[in-house]
C-alpha cells in the first residue's frame, strides 16, 4: 500500500505584533486605550442594568424607570466603541484558510484593495453620522430624554476611529509590515504553567 507524498500546508495566519512596536501604533495607543476601556465599561453597564432592574422589581417591587432604555443605549455605544478594537486586532472574520490558497502577490493586492475600500466606507459612514447628528439635535428618547445626537455621536467616533485604523493598516500593507496588533494585557505569560503531568503536551 502506497503512502501519499502530498504535504498540505497549514493555513497562513496573519501575525500580530505588540501595539507599541511601530511608531504609528505608538501614536494612536492612547486612543486605542480609551476605546477599549470605554467599550468595556459600556458592556459591563449593559449587563448590570437589566440585573439591577430584575432585583429591584422582583425583590423590592420598585422597578427603576428607564433602565431598559439606558441598557439599549449602552448596547449601541459598546458596539461602536468596540469596532476599532476589532479592526486593529484582526478579530473580524477573515477566512484565512481560503486566502492561504491564493498566491502571495494576489493576497497582497487583495489586502490593499480591502484596506482602501474599508477606509473609504468607514469615512463615508462617519460623514453620514455627522449629517444624522445635525438633523437630530432636537430629538430625544421618550423616557429618559437622552438626546439622539449622543447615539449618533457614538457612531461618529467609532466610524472615525475605524477609518484611522484601516488607514494605518493600509500603510502597513504597503510597507509589508504585520497589520494587526495585540496588547500587552493579551499576551500569554512567559512562565510555563504548572500543569499536572497528564495535561502536559
CA dist., res. 150 & res. 86, Å (int): 22
Per-residue 3-state assignment (H helix, E strand, C coil) for the chain:
CCCCCCCCCCCCCCCEEECCCCHHHHHHHHHHHHHHHHHHHHHHHHHHHHHHHHHHHHCCCCCCCCHHHHHHHHHHHHHHHHHHHHHHHCCCCCCHHHHCCCCHHHHHHHHHHHHHHHHHHHHHHHHHHHHHHHHCCCCECCCCCCEHHHHHHHHHHHHHHHHHHHHHHHHHHHCCCCCEEECHHHCCCCCCCCCCHHHCC
Q: What are 21-71's pLDDT values in tens digits? A: 788 888 999 999 999 999 999 999 999 999 999 999 999 888 888 888 999
Q: What are phi and psi of 18, to 5 degrees?
A: -60, 140
Closest CA to 165 of 73, 81, 42: 81
**What pLDDT does 34 receive?**
93
Q: Write down the mean pLDDT value for the chain.
A: 85
pLDDT band at 11 (very low <50, low <70, confident <90, very high): very low
**pLDDT of 127:** 97
Predicted TM-score of the model (pTM) = 0.79
Task: Give 152-187 pLDDT, tens digit per residue.
Answer: 999 999 999 999 999 999 999 999 998 988 877 666
Task: Quick: pLDDT tens for 69-117.
Answer: 999 999 999 999 999 999 998 888 878 788 888 898 999 999 999 999 9
* Residue pointed to by grid coordinates 425583590: 59
For residue 199, pLDDT beyond 90: no
- 94 backbone dihedrals φ, ψ, rounded to 5°: -120, -10
Find the farthest-apart pair of alpha carbons in the chain and give their distance in angstroms, rounded: 79
For residue 200, the Cα-to-chain-centroid distance in whole angstroms is 33
Q: What is the pLDDT of residue 24?
A: 87
Q: Which pLDDT score is estimated for 133?
A: 94
Region of poorest pLDDT, from 19-33, 127-141, 144-158: 19-33
Length of the chain: 201
CB atoms within 10 A of CB 46: 19
Amino acid at each position: 500500500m502506497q503512502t501519499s507524498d502530498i504535504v498540505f500546508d497549514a493555513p497562513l495566519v496573519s501575525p500580530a505584533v505588540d501595539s507599541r512596536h511601530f511608531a504609528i501604533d505608538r501614536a494612536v495607543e492612547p486612543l486605542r486605550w480609551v476605546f477599549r476601556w470605554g467599550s468595556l465599561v459600556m458592556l459591563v453597564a449593559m449587563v448590570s442594568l437589566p440585573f439591577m432592574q430584575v432585583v429591584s422589581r422582583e425583590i423590592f417591587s420598585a422597578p427603576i424607570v428607564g433602565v431598559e432604555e439606558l441598557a439599549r443605549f449602552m448596547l449601541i455605544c459598546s458596539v461602536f466603541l468596540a469596532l476599532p478594537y476589532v479592526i486593529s486586532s484582526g478579530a473580524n472574520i477573515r477566512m484565512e484558510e481560503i486566502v492561504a490558497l491564493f498566491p502571495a502577490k494576489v493576497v497582497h493586492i487583495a489586502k490593499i484593495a480591502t484596506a482602501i475600500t474599508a477606509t473609504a466606507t468607514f469615512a463615508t459612514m462617519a460623514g453620514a453620522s455627522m449629517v444624522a447628528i445635525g438633523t437630530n439635535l432636537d430629538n430625544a428618547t421618550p423616557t429618559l430624554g437622552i438626546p439622539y445626537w449622543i447615539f449618533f455621536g457614538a457612531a461618529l467616533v467609532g466610524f472615525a476611529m475605524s477609518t484611522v485604523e484601516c488607514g494605518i493598516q493600509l500603510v502597513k500593507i504597503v510597507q509589508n509590515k504585520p497589520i494587526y496588533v495585540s496588547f500587552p494585557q493579551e499576551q500569554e505569560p512567559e512562565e510555563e504553567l504548572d500543569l499536572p503531568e497528564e495535561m502536559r503536551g
